[in-house]
Amino acid sequence: MAIIIHDVGMRDGLQVETTVVPTERKVAWIEQLIASGIDAVQVGSFVNPRLVPQMADTDAVCRHFADRMPARTRLTALVLNEKGLERGLAAGVRDFCMGVSASDTHSRKNTGMSTVEATARIIATAHEAIDAGARVQLSVQSAFGCGFEGAIAASTVTRIVSEFVDAGFRTISLADTAGHATPRQVQSLFRAVQRAAPDVVCACHFHDTYGLAMVNAWAALECGVQSFEAAFAGVGGCPFAAVAAGNLCTEDFVHLLQRNELRGDVHLDALLALANEAEQLFGRPLPGVIHRTGPLRETAGARG
């Protein structure tokens, strides 16, 4: 089974930071992520710049790469509605991530719509993207719990997934926006999705709010999840969550994989250099671990 590493640090990682990263620095960081050999980089989100100032230059960043698309690394962007999709297409994006929160409260705070309203709208937007020749990954946010509502019924998540599948979409992510997931819950929910739609390519997105992102990622790997969203240095968090906390850390997860003789093709040192650079820019320790401790190198095939 192929393991896909999708770094979302440039979007999820930066959106809660008060220090705005200059556009030229963003471009350089994206180039470093591409050079590391990971599979996908989320370069930003097409959202209201007044609400998320860090994403105000997403159009410019995407236009920079529109005629410089890397040979093997996918460049993705997040959109929440038709207007965001229109901006993304105009900026040259051809790989979109779109999502719906399983929590009605979180959905209203994040999009101003109920879960039911947001689901219908995002499916229509996703079809527009497909019609324009783009790729789409759909996600269910707050799939494992919500900081506002607490537990989310598995049936709510599988119902949304079923709507995505019935609409013709086969790449679907379950996101632990609030960081409430446990390994047993992760495996139970993903297996339910796999039973309902065996041909779906499953992706996961874990936050480390309560220190469980890495074990949840491993649990997902063990039950056949293929795509893992993570952020360099473990930065990030949803600004509309009750408690914003960082993501599964890309370089820490790569280190775990390489210690288990997986993804030795990824240049771990390139990711560590980026994590250290980000820590210097933001002027504080960032959540990742391996960029501070240094990696263990025993595993044959791991590249520096």
* Active-site residue, selected from the candidate residues 62, 146, 204, 238: 238
- C-alpha dist (Å) from residue 271 to 1, 227, 274, 283: 23, 18, 5, 18
Active site residue 238: yes
Active site residues: 238
